[in-house]
Structure 1
Amino acid sequence: MSPRAGSAGNRPKKPDTLAFVESPVQLLNVLEWAHTRNPRTEEGTAPAPGAGLTLVVLSPTDPMTRGQLRRMAELARDEGYEVRWEEARGGTAAPFHTIGGLVPLLRRARRIVMGDPFSRYVQLLLTITGARDLVVVDDGTATMEFVAQLGRGERLVRWHRRGGRPGARDVLFAPVSASARRRLTPTGHRSVEVFSSMPIDSAPDGVRVTPNDFAWTRARFGPPRITKSADLVGTSLVETGVVDPERYLAAVRSLAAAHGATRYFAHRRESPEKLRRLAGETGLEIVRPDLPLELIARRGPIGRTILSFPSTVVHTLPLALAGTDVRVAVCDIDPSWLTENASPRAEGFLSGVTGTAKDVHRLTAVAHTAPA
């Protein structure tokens, strides 16, 4: 069945809300946001399935991400929402076809929900819409940086990008990015909401912050069966050039041995080569989840202890697993692990991710692990 199959007959002609997602976690958080607007009744059914929300998946090319997005799209359809799958990166002409097909919807929508305000695709779409209500849902820890940059009036740049002069593409896209930043700044005629499970203590004037406590996930799945062993959560910090691969491998090996971890839940962006080496040198079972980890953990089985490096899950898993006996533990990134290409902001940002996490245990046992 194609991603759009089975949905054309009941497609709303004028969706009240358009949501643009490019990752499984973004789609999950749109479902969480929609749940807070349209909670289930005590009988477990939503009073108005769909509620005028159309989810637009701007599909990436990465196979793991696409697979998880397809599964999340199925869950969204099960909840009664319309899902429109766009092969947004399927060739040179794909962006033109995608944007051209979305223009009528963009011009009619009253509200735009987005999972990644740093996305050039999303920033371009924002220049087309006249929607007066804008909502940013979590795209992981990047949400913290987005709020901070918006408050400081800075250009929107992902935290792991190395400092310095913008590249040629950045310069060419600068007017669009600046326009998107202005549209994401609240005015008397335009509201901006950030729906987040991240610790956002202060937001720019006029930005409304709504907490995400994963109520939909907890209502839909679980409680999980809990095993006696530990599970380790992988990170893509090596792939983004932030952490040295040898240091990372040594840290995983030490954590697994110290805590009796048996499984390694791979991040969807981790390279197959790195994962093969991890399996061979640590003995861990490599698990490539077909859904975001919050749903995997809530469905179970899951280890009694979940070990993680600084990442979004140290904030989200305690919420998704609230009421269970699962312990989430986080291991800090030692500064010596950072590569010479890491952004100057990397150390402080990662430290802040760990330091602001609630209901997690801090681990320092491998803080100065050296390569084997």
Structure 2
Amino acid sequence: MPAVPRDPRATVAFVESPVQLLNVLEWAHAPGPLLDGVPAQQRAETPDLSDLTVVVLSPTDPMSRGQLRRMAELARDAGAKVRWEEARAGLTAPLQTVGGLAPMLRRAERIVIGDPFSRYVQLLLTAARARDLVVVDDGTATMEFVSQLARGERLVRWHRRGSRAGARELLFAPVSAAARRRLSPARRRAVTVFSAMPIEAPEGVMVAPNTFGWTRARFGPPRLTKGADLVGTSLVETGVVDPVSYLEAVGVLARTHGVTRYFAHRRESADKLHTLHARTGLEIVRPDLPLELIARRGPVGRTVLSFPSTVVHTLPLALAGTGVSVVVCDIDPRWLTERASPRAQGFLDGVTGTARKAHGLATVAA
């Protein structure tokens, strides 16, 4: 079979969450070339939105799918092409998806990904020949990705307990190792991390700042309400935080800081949210877009409280100049479950500590 020629203008982005798609749009609209410092022979042209194809590897949970549908509409309105893949619709879906995307992968000169930990993305990277690879923020996981890349470690999500690989991980290990090599800079391959997080990239990896310029230009400024808002977290669902301790902490924050609304994370369970509303009386808001857009569009409280999560880094940028104060509530070590990774407390402390340093955020206790 003859080789498929690469298209120097073609950029393909793979996303699996609404936040990843938002940050692809932020990357595409960032001012100036994002590849300064890349040798000319390694550099593709600065992307035009008409040359950008966003491939949505659709998840199964309804909240994520709904938000992704809305984000896909915004991406199309901005001029990008969007290809929706039911990548998890049955046992044969992964093979069909990878096979159908292979020609596009071989043509692309630049690949943009939102989740380097994703097995789906890692599998797709093995078929790519692009000379430019860009990793956009997938929340706080970006910080862990950069750290693991610098240490030469296998890519493992921070909340996974233990370091011993299971049977599935061992079977997938060759693909994961190949993807990690693809995500490392080389003589004919440039790697850029586009991030709002305070990260120190390993040698050869470029960092481009995500300032949420597209979000600020597209939405707002918001109308401010008198009450405070609280941002929910999925740390209970991932097995990191004890549900009883979490509910008690939310209750304390609501009473002491005048919280009236609770912005639920898209992965929070309906039962947990029902219990939370019954105990605290808070209005539960299920956002239909990433919180950065919801807050910027408004209305939003003059104070936004959050447990350790991505938003303690992104909301200060998205809401810059609006008068909204973002406040952090640390996770008490006593809230952690026995299933929590030994790295959990240090990672969560690092998320809030770096946010306080970067944005001067205040801290409250629950």
Question: Do Structure 1 and Structure 2 share a fold, with TM-score over 0.5?
Answer: yes
5 Å matches for 1:99-138?
99-138=98-137
Q: Say which SS state the counterpart of residue 318 (structure 1) adopts.
A: helix
Mapped contact 1:58–1:86 kept (Cα < 8 A): yes
| Cα pair distance change 1:86/1:37, threshold 3 Å | farther
Give the stretch that moved more between structures: 91-100 or 135-144.
91-100
Q: Distance in 1 between matches of 2:321 and 2:362?
A: 20
User: What's the Cα RMSD here?
Assistant: 1.5
Q: How many angstroms apart in 2 are the aligned matches of 1:101 and 1:265?
A: 37
Residue 19 (1) aligns with residue 13 (2): yes
The alpha carbon displacement at 1:164 in A equals 3.4
The superposition leaves residues 138-170 of structure 1 with CA deviations (integer Å, 9 ceiling, x where unpaired) of 000000000000000000000000013111000
> Over residues 14-70 of structure 1, what are the superposed CA-to-partner deviations in whole Å (9 max), with x where a residue is unaligned?
96100000000000000000001679xxxxxxx996241000000000000000000
Partner of residue 324 from structure 2, selected from 311, 326, 348? 326
Answering whether residue 348 of structure 2 is matched by residue 359 of structure 1, we say no
User: What secondary structure is seen at the aligned counterpart in 2 of 1:328?
Assistant: strand
CA contact (8 A) 2:327 2:364 kept: no
Contact conserved, 1:318 with 1:360, CA < 8 A, in 2?
Answer: no
Structure 1: which 5+ runs fail to align? Answer: 1-12, 40-46, 367-372
- What is the identity, as a one-letter code, of the residue corresponding to 2:297? R
SS of structure 2 residue aligned to 1:110: strand
Give 1:236's match in structure 2, choosing from 234, 256, 262: 234
CA distance in 2, matches of 1:309, 1:362: 12
CA contact (8 A) 1:18 1:112 kept: yes
The 8 Å contact of residues 196 and 314 in structure 2, kept in 1 or not, is answered as: yes
Mapping for residues 56-95 of structure 1, pairs under 5 Å: 56-95=55-94
Task: Using structure 2 for the length normalisation, give the TM-score.
Answer: 0.92
Q: Secondary structure in 2 aligned to 1:129?
A: coil
Structure 1 Cα separation of the partners of residues 12 and 88 of structure 2: 19
Q: Residues 283-322 of structure 1: matches in 2 within 5 Å? A: 283-322=281-320
One-letter code of the match for 2:168? R
CA-to-aligned-CA distance 1:290-318 (integer Å, 9 cap, x gap): 00000000000000000100000000000
Partner of 1:16, secondary structure, is strand
Residues 1:191 and 2:190 are matched in the alignment: yes
| Aligned AA (2:65) | R
Deviation at 1:363, TM superposition (A): 2.6
**1:247-274 Cα shifts (integer Å, max 9, x gaps):** 0000000001001000000000000000
Tell me the residue number matched to 2:36.
none
Match of 1:268?
Answer: 266
CA–CA separation in structure 2 for the residues paired with 1:175 and 1:92: 21
Structure 1 residue 203: deviation in Å? 1.2
Structure 1 counterpart of 2:346: 348
* 8 Å contact kept, 1:264–1:286: yes
Deviation at 1:362, TM superposition (A): 3.2
Q: Is the 8 A contact 2:8 2:109 kept in 1?
A: no
Change (3 A) 1:345 1:184: same
2:221 to 213, 220, 223: 223
User: Does 2:180 correspond to 1:181?
Assistant: yes
CA apart distance, 1:279: 0.3
CA contact (8 A) 2:55 2:85 kept: yes
Aligned-partner SS, 2:49: coil
TM-superposition CA deviations, 1:294-343 (whole Å, max 9, x none): 00000000000001000000000000000110000010001000001100
State whether structure 2 residue 161 is matched by structure 1 residue 167: no
Unpaired segments of 5 or more residues in structure 2?
Answer: 1-6, 34-45
Contact residue 330 and residue 360 of structure 1 kept, 8 A: no
C-alpha separation in 2, matches of 1:325 and 1:83 = 35
Q: 1:185 to 1:14 in 2, by over 3 A?
A: closer
CA distance in 2, matches of 1:203, 1:164: 23
Residue 145 of structure 1 corresponds to 144
Stretches (4+) displaced over 2 A? 47-51, 358-365
Task: Calculate the TM-score normalised by the size of structure 1.
Answer: 0.91
Q: Percent same amino acid among aligned pairs? A: 75
